[in-house]
Chain A
């Protein structure tokens, strides 16, 4: 009986519970030093997504030829003059190029996760809610996608559609986003399905059904908010994977086309000068590492903060 009354008063009760849950999670999160550092760097990276081109000291694609010639046609070393991190072999400012790369990587992070949610969430939710045959068919689709070797499938997609309008949109970046997203949604679908399957049997859902709430409303108002924690963690931890995939493709020459400066592409370009001009490899490698780590630390921190099992252990 108590449950049923609780369910009828759902909106108010859910609000009160949510506030304390998220409040607790927030307190646990800010006590985790690594997660805070990761979160701050993530915020800086997102700032660069929007304002990177504004704070870039030079245009990322401009070749400073007089300076390059004055330097014997060799890449200018870092910390020596007007170029903070030096220039590449074509006289382009490395720092500005890294900022352009940040824009590409962070767009990848956002768009891929959006695609993942857009495909994975409805499929996972429908599979869990309708069960039976719907569940079987939808999960078989995820099996098929799961069976593809993911990076190679992304390469196949990218190369296949390179010469089509999608492939040429946004300097070739859009196609990479879509390709990575098309492979990455499977994990989200499985996660959502698993979460919803256990929530589906709870009393408050049964109560909502009993008073005639529509399927769509139960899923969106009662089930998904309760599965939000693990989904946030999955999205955060999915981002380094997407950034890594983009960098790997760029290293192979697939994706953002020159003069765009994807981080993976910068590593590839710098490789030729690895023995003499180490800065051309070191700085892009460092910023890739920094981005991957920040998202991983933030994701780990969020998981620990949102996982009630760990409550009281820290």
Chain B
């Protein structure tokens, strides 16, 4: 098991290397650069900027320099925010993004799993239909539409919650709508998965055995069904959390959450090479690590699974 974990962790490095290579080549293959804007800069200014930021070097040299700096923990300069390094930008935004993502994740787990369990236990009865209806709404509503509808209803019409002003726990009211809007899709994903998994377990022999030896309904459901049904659910939790952390940029934009997702989208539009590279690597690392954690967790909670 330990060998497996070490090998998987070592494998993350080449993946990140290739990801950085692809992103770097893509950025530099495209026409236009960070200095292209509506009002053209003077050629001498462009030449000066290129020299200052090392953009005159051949692309492979630029890449190697970037890797060299990365190894010392320096993510390089931002081409748009002249007075801030990419390290500063990431450090400022990552907290809000992770906070929002983890909060939405907890909400999704706490609502999604019970919804799925209730749906399966009352299969084809009214609670099942209600639970299914909720998860169907989650699937059918893109996050930007959900965010807009929540804004119209709770902020504009009822005036209960603010439209923006995310400030962590300093302003809990402003956290409600972004968290709910972001969690909606994962809630239905988890609920659907849990329901299917529970229904599958319901037909198993050991459940029939448990029933025939007269165990209480509660014991059967909690000890025998839910524990077994949740094993496959764990496998989707990694991708779900990764999605919530890397995919929150729309919600961040709509609710003005000062996270890195919003900055990333802006950076792509502006060709801010340093920010794009840093954040792509960061996101790729988050995804890779979460997938590894889930695989290890999977083996831990289900002793039947053995990696070699």
Q: Which residues of A contact B (CB under 8 A)?
A: 140, 143-144, 146-149, 151-153, 155-157, 159-161, 163-164, 240, 244, 247-248, 251-252, 264, 267, 271, 274-275, 278, 281, 285, 288-290, 292-293, 296, 313
Residues of B within 8 A of A152 (CB): 246, 249, 264-265, 268, 279-280, 283
Contact check: which of A149, A292, A313 meets B283 at CB < 8 Å?
A149
Indicate if the CB atoms of B142 and A149 lie closer than 8 Å: no
B136-151 interface (Cβ within 8 A of A) = 136, 139-145, 148-149, 151
In the bound complex, how far is the Cα of B129 from the Cα of A20, in angstroms? 32
In the bound complex, how far is the Cα of B22 from the Cα of A313, in angstroms? 48
| B158 close to A (CB within 8 Å) | no
On chain B, which size bracket covers the interface?
35 or more
Residues of A within 8 A of B287 (CB): 146-149
Indicate if the CB atoms of A147 and B265 lie closer than 8 Å: no
Q: List 27 A-B contacts (CB under 8 A).
A: A144-B18, A147-B15, A147-B19, A148-B280, A149-B246, A149-B280, A151-B246, A151-B247, A152-B246, A152-B265, A155-B268, A247-B142, A252-B253, A264-B142, A267-B144, A267-B148, A271-B148, A275-B156, A281-B148, A288-B142, A289-B141, A292-B140, A293-B136, A293-B139, A296-B136, A296-B140, A313-B203
Please give me the residue from chain A that is nearest to B27 by CB atom.
A160
Knowing that A146-B287, A160-B26, A160-B29 touch, tell me 19 more A-B residue pairs with CB under 8 angstroms: A140-B14, A140-B15, A143-B11, A144-B15, A144-B18, A149-B247, A151-B249, A152-B246, A152-B265, A152-B268, A152-B280, A152-B283, A155-B265, A163-B32, A247-B142, A251-B144, A285-B145, A296-B136, A313-B203
Residues of B within 8 A of A140 (CB): 14-15
Contact check: which of A247, A252, A281 meets B265 at CB < 8 Å?
A252
In the bound complex, how far is the Cα of B76 from the Cα of A84, in angstroms? 55
Residues of A within 8 A of B253 (CB): 252
Please give me the residue from chain A that is nearest to B144 by CB atom.
A251
Q: Which residues of B contact A (CB under 8 A)?
A: 11, 14-16, 18-19, 22-23, 26-27, 29-32, 136, 139-145, 148-149, 151-152, 156, 203, 242, 246-247, 249-250, 253, 264-265, 268-269, 276, 279-280, 283-284, 287-288, 291
Smallest beta-carbon distance B275→chain A, Å: 12
Please give me the residue from chain B that is nearest to A158 by CB atom.
B268
Which secondary structure dominates chain A's binding surface?
helix
- A248-B250 in contact given A163-B31, A267-B144 (Cβ < 8 Å): yes
Contact check: which of B16, B19, B250, B283 meets A252 at CB < 8 Å?
B250
Indicate if the CB atoms of B152 and A274 lie closer than 8 Å: yes
Contact check: which of A159, A164, A293 meets B268 at CB < 8 Å?
A159
Indicate if the CB atoms of A143 and B29 lie closer than 8 Å: no
Contact check: which of B23, B149, B250 meets A156 at CB < 8 Å?
B23
